[in-house]
Amino acid sequence: MVKTNRDSLLEVALIGEITHSAVAPSYTTGWDQRPRIGLGQGGIVYNVKVGDPCFGWEMGEKVEPGASADGVGDEREKGAFRNLSCVGNRIKVVGGEAKGEWGTVVGKVGYIHGGGHHVVTHFDDETLEKLAIGDKAQIKAHGTGLRLIDYPNVRVISCSPRLVEAMGLKEKANKIVVPVTKVVPAIYVGQGHGGSPAEANNWEIQTQSPDAIAHVKGLRFGDIVMLDDILSAWGRGYFEDAVTVGVVSCGPSDSLGQGIGVTTLLTCREGEIIAKVDPEANLKSLLGLGGGDR
């Protein structure tokens, strides 16, 4: 077992609410100059869950599985919800008909240029039926400050101790071996460069060029993936030999430079992390989440 400092982490409450579905006010122009209406961002998506395929949803644009929440209050308070929540944290509905039901944080999506921020959550079908847009939900945030004690050059970002312990990390010749479903080369990595911090904003795997689509067409929501030559510490960008490991948190896009969302979990600059391809490296099995049987 990889040693962590989990006993010194603070566990704090963050309050947010279930968002509306986010749809652009006019047609969006795709990479091919054709107009589209995209749906599936934000709000409650009843029939897409962690474990389901990213591709194949009609007119889907950056589809977020399950229910999406954002912080409430002023910008600093919203910032706490977006920055401090960690994948694998538990979230409890604290208002409305679903009050008292628990779910799990499965990703975070943040668009750089004035766009929305969503913490993506998984609830079971029964809870989703009772959930309403605007319902308040509280996260027991646990993970900010998490370190792998013997690997000081690896940064852990937005990753709960629960997830880091479930990911099946192994140690080999002073490197961390991480099971991932796919390794993605930097050339396919688009929006996210330059955006800071990695805690609140996601990476996107570009899904317009046919070769890029072919490379990632089998991805599922919740997949653990590796972005090669990508660094997510103190800002985000291309660095030869750097690695970012993240979780697939939203679906593909038809807009140039945009696509499948990846929420950062681990990053390093000099190859301290290596990948082991494992088709089972998905939050559904790692965290024991129901649904997603498509």
Does residue 21 touch another protein according to CB under 8 A?
Answer: no
Amino acid at 80: A
Binding positions for another protein, 87-146, rule CB under 8 A: 112-113
273-277 and 175-180: which strand pairing?
parallel
Beta-bridged to residue 138, according to DSSP, are 15, 92
β-pair type (155-156, 170-172): unpaired
Among 2, 31, 124, 183, interactor with another protein by CB under 8 A = 31
Stretch that binds another protein, among 80-88, 121-129, 229-237, 282-290 (CB under 8 A): 229-237
Q: Which residues pair with 124 in a beta bridge?
A: none
* Among positions 177, 237, 274, 285, the unique one binding another protein when judged by CB under 8 A: 237
**Token pair for residue 93?**
């509905």
Joined tokens for residue 229: 């030559």
Instruction: Number of residues interacting with another protein: please give it, by CB under 8 A.
Output: 42
Q: How far is the CB of 229 from another protein (least distance, A)?
A: 7
> What is the x/- site pattern for another protein, positions 247-286, by CB under 8 A?
--------xxxx----------------------------
Residue 214: how many CB atoms within 10 A of its CB? 9
Q: Does 55 bind another protein (CB under 8 A)?
A: no
The Cα-based distances of 75 to 72, 83, 173 in angstroms read 8, 12, 44
Residues 6+ positions from 102 with CB-CB distance below 8 Å: 90, 91, 92, 93
Report the site for another protein in 179-208 (rule: CB under 8 A). 185-196, 204, 206, 208
Count Cβ atoms within 10 A of the Cβ of residue 6 and give its class: 0-12 exposed, 13-18 middle, 19 or more buried. middle
The single residue among 44, 229, 283, 291 that binds another protein, judged by CB under 8 A, is 229
27 vs 46, beta carbon nearer another protein: 27
Segment interacting with another protein (CB under 8 A) among 1-9, 30-38, 218-226, 283-291: 30-38
Shortest Å distance, C-beta 291 to another protein: 30
**Cα 189 vs. chain centroid, distance in angstroms?**
15
The C-alpha atoms of residue 139 and residue 137 are separated, in whole angstroms, by 7
d(CA 36, CA 24): 10
Among 29, 47, 97, 217, binds another protein (CB under 8 A): 29
Cα–Cα dist 105/263, whole Å: 11
Which is closer to another protein, CB of 39 or CB of 169?
Answer: 39
For another protein, the closer CB: 67 or 84: 84
> In this chain, which of 11, 129, 150, 240 binds another protein, going by CB under 8 A?
240
Kindly state whether residue 231 participates in binding another protein, applying the rule CB under 8 A: yes
Residues forming the site for another protein (CB under 8 A): 28-31, 33, 112-113, 185-196, 204, 206, 208-212, 229, 231, 233-242, 255-258
